[in-house]
Structure 1
Amino acid sequence: MDIDPLTGIAQALAALDAAGGGRSPESLTAGELLQVNAAFGALKRQVDAAFMPVAAEIARQSRAELGRDSLAKKQGFRTPVALIQATTGSSIGEAIKLVQVGEATAPRASLTGETLPPKHPHVAAAVAASTLSITSSHAIVRLLDRLAGRVDAAMLDDAERVLVRRAPGLRADELSRLLTHAEAELDPDGIAPRHEEQRAQRFLEIVERDGAIHLNAIYDIASGAPIKAFIDGRVSSTLLSNENRDDATRDERSVRQMRADALSDLCAHGIACDAVPTGVGAAIVVRVTLDELQSGVGAASIDGIETPVPVSTLRQLACDLGVIPWVMGGESEVLDWGRVKRSFTPAQKRAIAARDRGCACCGAPVAWTHVHHIEWWCHDGPTDLANGLLLCSACHHRLHDDGWEVRIDGVGTAATVWFLPPPWIDPDRAPRPSASQLCTLAA
């Protein structure tokens, strides 16, 4: 039985009060603070869920064909979004999300007056249950609407159900990765047209303003991949060097400053060179199936970049760049070393990256990660693929220092990585999925 929106808000308020929301934050224990934080999140979702149908009805009564009889215009506003924004104090973007998700999750009526289910029933159910935020709901609705004319309705319905189940608890960047992979999986034929559109929109502006040089640019994936690979390589080298330095010699630049300096150094090097350098300082690893490579149809992924590219684009990348095709277990490379070697080889890292896609914990780019032994080397852990895990430096230290455990189910690239928190974080030690699992539609 559905709960009345106001009843849901009242229950959320009661839960907040029970968690300690009526006390000063300074008096709360760490556990109580987390409970209050979760209760406030649930309350916000309940309030948004109750307001969305109101926003949708305001929009319905303010539609353009009503002219002067529009509800918004009668109140002195040009659009319903402006009315909602003014009365709630929200941004234009927030008001638009309320209206659009409200319309997408409201019951519909047929021409004969029969009540029809919402346009997006799974999103509507999750919003009503207070499990999905307005931001996540809007992102999912936009993706589904964009694909509606190109993807089978049954596939879209199944994708909606999976996305609604996976979205709660994801950060904005994690949700973005999930939706990017979902779009590529649902509409592989749309990858090439989108890529060509992005290529046509590429630009670079260089402006001197306020005593500084300002760069503003957009690149398509093929054009931007070598730039990102080079800069990520420089940043990764600096971060690795910092691990072996003390506070006196540590490089204190932010990652953004490291990126800026890397681009400047590259250009300074190019000016000083008499000829274009031919050495490959950074590799671009492209992952594609053999069938797709042979047919020239399909999508390829590039390490460190979430957006897929058409297989046909690989020819552009392969001409003058250090492109490494992913062929695991090639006859010239040994991928399992046992106890013979302590450090994982570059070939092993590329193989493990096919599974982890970056830091298995936080999703940082592959270039920022190193392969770490799941079973420590000092505890007789082998230098084998099954015992390797991609982690950035920060996550590596956090997992070891806090007592996390790692579990891998399956073998090869199809294996799944799980992180088991220590009892002081979660007494039940419920396994948490790796970052790569959060961006796939697979169950």
Structure 2
Amino acid sequence: MQQYFERLADAVCTLAEGAERVTLSFSAEATDFIRFNRAAVRQATHVEQRYGSVSVIADGRRATGTLSLRGELGLDIQALLAERATLLAQLPHIPQDRYLLLPSAIASSQRRTVGELPAAGQLIDAVSRHAAGTDMVGFYAGGPVVRAYADSRGQRNWHEVDSFLFEWSLYRSGDQAVKSSYAGSQWSEAQFAARMAQARAQCELLGRARKTLAPGDYRVYLSPVAVGELLGTLSWGGFGLKAVNTGVSTLIQLHRGEAALHKGVTLTEATAGGIAPSFQDDGFVKPDAVPLVAAGRIAGTLAAPRSAMEYGVAANGSGPEESPESLAMAAGTLPPAEALKALGTGVYVSNLHYLNYSDRQACRMTGMTRFACFWVENGELAAPIDVMRFDDSFIRMFGSGLVALTDSVELLPDNATYGARQLRSISAPGAIVEGLRFTL
């Protein structure tokens, strides 16, 4: 496919009359989608799709059009050239954009991550063996995903990653279920079996009498998935340059020096360690890492080209939303196997959902516990708890309230597949937090 893209780029990214620069962004995937119900296949589909976005730029103006491509080189070149001609005719009628910023240096790159993904039959057989006898519902998406960029200056960027994401739930009865996931580039049936076995064990625990907790402050263990869900919410306006300069960043207290996170908290846009591309649609190449929080204090922001132009700073490869695509929280020192013992007595939170801000300026979040959450006594899972709502500040939870972070992190890819598979991800450890506030 890379050769196909190169030939598209050579044909389209030429300086036509009326353009100072022509760019081509390309995305593609070849994905197996498999849905399971009652541990049996309900739907199995294979999807291949390709899209090309051509832009023409001149005199501070830019026009862009996106086409679905057929994968037939001659026809696709013809369609993109016709789109380019249409855009060139429209370009003089588009208002100038005073914040338009394009890269001056040419920075080509190439990344190809070859994975070992299960064939559809192999995955189905594994589910049949390890989920037999359960009411398991699940969704698998796996295969190569491509992002690429080219322009008329000669820059070429190619990003191709083989990856998979398998999410499933073991349903027990009523509203009781255990949710699990397994993701990566190297499929291991042994790892899948271990996660399924852990889910089975927790599903059995759901059969115990529920414990109802009164509203109040509790010592909790947040699984890496729960921490990732909090970090995902923090990404809504927490790290962008424009949000900081307009005073709406949810971490504005840290930027103003009014508060700090625990010294053990380090957050990084870790592009080199993620699965998202190291370039964006304007052609800017991202650093391997952008420090955001170091030892509890602000270390940087994500600067999209438009914000960089507006505020007179250097762009660092962020997309227009200035939201991280490969956000990583550094690990701590607590072995995961000792997490419940370190928790002692409190609440084990496996998942959170319906997260939102209850007070953006205070970085205060609210949401619900979900799936298998348990009361813990003397370091052991004792009883499932009823669904609870929490309302607490991220700055407090991961500031004065943080007790420990686990010494390993889990990669949590974005599970969105609407329109196309996504390459965003979060890497998060588990965390013990003192005094998480449950309100009802």
TM-score (structure 2 length as normaliser): 0.24
Q: TM-score, normalised by structure 1?
A: 0.24
Larger-gyration structure (1/2)? 1
Higher relative contact order (CA 8 A, sep 6+): 2
Q: Which one has a larger percent strand, Structure 1 or Structure 2?
A: 2
More helix per residue: 1 or 2?
1
